[in-house]
Amino acid sequence: MCRNPLLLLLVLLTASAASAQDDEDDGYDEEEAPPILEGSGRISFQTGWRYTPNTRFYDEYYSQTGNLHLERSEGAIGGPLLAATFAYSPLEWLELGIDLSATYERMQLTGKPGLNAMTLGALAGLRLQKRLEIGPAGLVPWVGVILGNLFAASYFDGGRSVETAAGALGGTVGATLSLGETWGLTLEYRQILAKGEAEKIGVYDAVGNWFSVGVTYLIPSEPDRPMKKLF
């Protein structure tokens, strides 16, 4: 037992300083678990179906003077989609990403050839996320907003194409189920507001409701580059 109280105090202070330095080097408190999502990324490839009824577009066509006597065709049925998301999580609860997409739909109007409608989009996504201990390696649900530019083109069979470049705004909700450290399954629903134009008819909804499923490549976080202190 040390009989010199000054020496004992010096030893305790030295030990405390060393412990504090270790905690500072780690970047996290002893009771705080290192973030799991902060600093991680993902690449998702999805396919699915998009649908919007386009009721106003159909009403406008059949209300034209020359079309009042025509029998109304069936409404829109939607079409396939392809999407890719490249995302990074600067914070445990926040994900920023770039969403690329392509969609196709074929609509039928009585007295007209088939109308083909396509879109190409490049949107920025901001998603709030939370990791849950569900499934083989965790589940990450999210909700967010997406906005950016969308290119829409439409043409009747044998006719000329009408292109429209406009802004797009929407919301997204979904989740990624991790199957391991590097792979997962993603489900997503989007509601996107964007317009296209059909020759001599008018404006139609180019995207609308979006349902997709796909595979995700997960990029683990690197503990030595925390971003939390920058915000």
pLDDT single digits (tens) 60-99: 999 998 899 999 998 899 999 999 999 999 999 999 999 9
- C-alpha span between 206 and 118 (Å, rounded): 8
User: What is the DSSP annotation of 153-167?
Assistant: EEEETTS--EEEEEE
Q: Which of 169, 170, 186 lies closest to 178, judged by CA?
A: 186
Comparing CA positions, the residue from 75, 87, 170, 155 lying closest to residue 121 is: 170
**Does 22 have pLDDT greater than 80?**
no
Answer whether residue 108 shows pLDDT above 50: yes
- Return the CATH class of domain 41-222: mainly beta
Extents of the domains making up the chain: 41-222
| pTM of the predicted model over 0.75 | yes
Average pLDDT, the chain: 86
